[in-house]
Structure 1
Amino acid sequence: MFKVTPNPPDTDPASPYEPDSKKLNEAAERALNYHFPSTADIKATPRTPSTLFAVNPQATTETLVVYLVETLASVDVMVHQLVDHLDGGDRHALLGISNSIMLAEITANRVLDRIDPR
């Protein structure tokens, strides 16, 4: 049988460069240290909170708690809308989250009652 393409030329499969495992290990260590800093490095870095979303420092406690209660109520409504579309374990997990939201809302309402009992 006639072959249309010629055989590839004979080449040495070994790399022309000498492998240096010490340099390779050092490079790997540098890469790992760069991408995954140690706990000490993370703790040494000062935390600078984002100012993109900030709460007005002059807002009263009552205003903050009212906003908290309204936010929790909104999140609870969203969770209940999602629950309608789920079955089984996912549904139970979301109902558990809803229960936690409700408990937080009750707690925030109690704080409001202490601030301004009506």
Structure 2
Amino acid sequence: MDKSVPDPPITPEAEDLRTESLIKDREAIKRALDYYLAPPSQYTEKNRRPSTMYMIAPNMDTESLLAQACESLASASVMTSDFATNLIGPQRSTAMAIQQIIMLAELAVNRALDNVDPA
């Protein structure tokens, strides 16, 4: 469909305003993308303070920490396995895969615990 009125000619002033607007838009887009897609350390590391709501005592020894992690992983493995028994199809496979990942992490923590305190 043809327009009945042609576009007005672009003046140098209008072109300058358009260029400035595009530059500002690009800068805003870059800031937004950097904020949402940049690595978290760029924006949050400066102001990051760890929460003290759930804090592990700083003087805890490595063996105790590994033993607690091992027990937590064992509990998570059992809970995931029990949960998977009530599922069918792909959801069951996903739950069993999660359980296997937890079990592998538990094995790694057990090995680290053995390395810290050999029997």
Name the TM tier (shorter chain).
Answer: 0.5 to 0.7
> Larger % of helix: which?
2
Q: 1: distance between equivalents of 2:34 and 2:102?
A: 35
SS at match of 1:62: helix
Counterpart secondary structure, 1:67: helix
Equivalent residues in 2 for 1:1-118, closer than 5 Å: 39=35, 43=43, 46-118=47-119
Q: Report how many residues are paired.
A: 86
Structure 1 SS opposite 2:57 = coil
| Structure 1 residues without counterparts, runs of 5 or longer | 1-35
**Cα-to-partner distance string for 1:17-64 (whole Å, 9 max, x where unaligned):** xxxxxxxxxxxxxxxxxxx79517x71561121110001100000000
Q: Structure 1 CA distance, aligned partners of 2:51 and 2:33?
A: 21
**Structure 2: gaps spanning 5 or more residues:** 1-31
Which of structure 1's runs of 4+ aligned residues deviate more than 2 A? none
Cα distance in 2 between the residues matched to 1:104 and 1:112: 12
d(CA) in 2 for partners of 1:59, 1:68: 13
Q: What TM-score do the two structures reach when normalised by structure 1?
A: 0.64
Which letter does structure 1 place at the counterpart of 2:114? D
Identity of aligned residues (%): 37
Shift of 1:65: 0.1
Distance 2:105 2:34 in 1: 36
> Normalized against structure 2, the TM-score is what?
0.64
Question: Which protein is bigger by CA-based radius of gyration?
Answer: 1
Q: Which has the higher contact order (CA 8 A, sep 6+)?
A: 1
SS where residue 95 of structure 2 aligns?
helix
1:99 & 1:50 partners in 2: Cα distance? 30
